[in-house]
Amino acid sequence: MELEGYKIKREEGNFIYWFYSEGPKGKIIKTIQFQHMLEYGKDFFNLAFGDVDEHTGGLNDKPITNNGDYQKVLLTVAKVVLNFINFWPRAIIQVKGNTLSRTRLYQMGIGAFWLDISQEVDILGELNGDWVPFKKGVNYTGFLVFKKIR
C-alpha cells in the first residue's frame, strides 16, 4: 500500500484498536472494535468504527469528522482488519456503515486499496439481499470480509 496509515494500538485482551486522526480539526481519537456476533457463529464479527466519545470513552459512530485525512483513516482501518484476520484467521467480518453514504465511503476505500487487500482477503458485497463477490464500481449495502484461503 502506497500511503502510510496511522500508528495503531490494540487494547490488551480484547478486540479494540485505536489511533489518532490528525488534520485541520486537531487530533481526534478513532476506534475500531470487532464485536462478536455469536448468533451467526463463533467466527462472525461486526466491525464498529468511529470516534472515541470524550465524555463516555465509548465508540460514537455518528460524527462526521472531516479532518482532511479520510484516505489515511480508511487505510488504517484496512490495516487493522488485516491485522485482526491474521490474529483470528477464520473470522468473517461484517462491515456496514450506519448510513448509506458511510457504507459508500467504505466501498470507496475498498476500491482504492483493492489491489493490495485482495491479496490477503476475499470480500463479498451485499446486493439486493444476496452476497456476491466484490467488484469495483458496484454499489453495495454492506460487506463481508474474510481471509483468503490459500
For residue 129, the model assigns a pLDDT of: 93
Q: Which is more confidently placed, 62 or 121?
A: 121
Q: How far is CA 98 from CA 49, 106, 136, 142, in A?
A: 10, 11, 21, 10
> Closest by alpha carbon to 88, among 150, 42, 123, 144?
42
Domain boundaries along the sequence of the chain = 9-147
Q: What is the pLDDT of residue 2?
A: 56
Q: What sign does the dihedral 112-118-123-128 (CA atoms) show?
A: positive
Q: What is the pLDDT of residues 55-66, one digit of tens each?
A: 898 888 988 888
Mean pLDDT of 105-119: 89
Q: What value, to the nearest 5°, has the Cα angle with vertex 42 and ends 35 and 89?
A: 85
> What's the pLDDT at 3?
65
Lookup: cell for 122: 476475499
Mean pLDDT of 10-27: 92
Average pLDDT over residues 107-112: 90
Q: Which amino acid would we find at residue 26?
A: G
- The beta strand positions in the chain, using DSSP E, are 9-10, 16-23, 26-36, 44-52, 59-60, 92-95, 121-127, 130-133, 143-147
Average pLDDT, the chain: 92
pLDDT class of 112 with cuts at 50, 70, 90: confident
Which pLDDT band, with edges at 50, 70 and 90, does 51 fall under? Answer: very high
What sections of 5-69 are H helices per DSSP?
A: none
Q: Does the pLDDT at position 123 exceed 60?
A: yes
The DSSP H or E segment spanning 100 is: helix 100-112
Please work out, in degrees rounded to the nearest 5, the angle formed at the alpha carbon of residue 7 by the alpha carbons of 68 and 105: 40
Residue 115 pLDDT greater than 80, yes or no: yes
Closest of 28, 27, 34 to residue 11, by C-alpha = 34
What pLDDT shows up at residue 67?
93
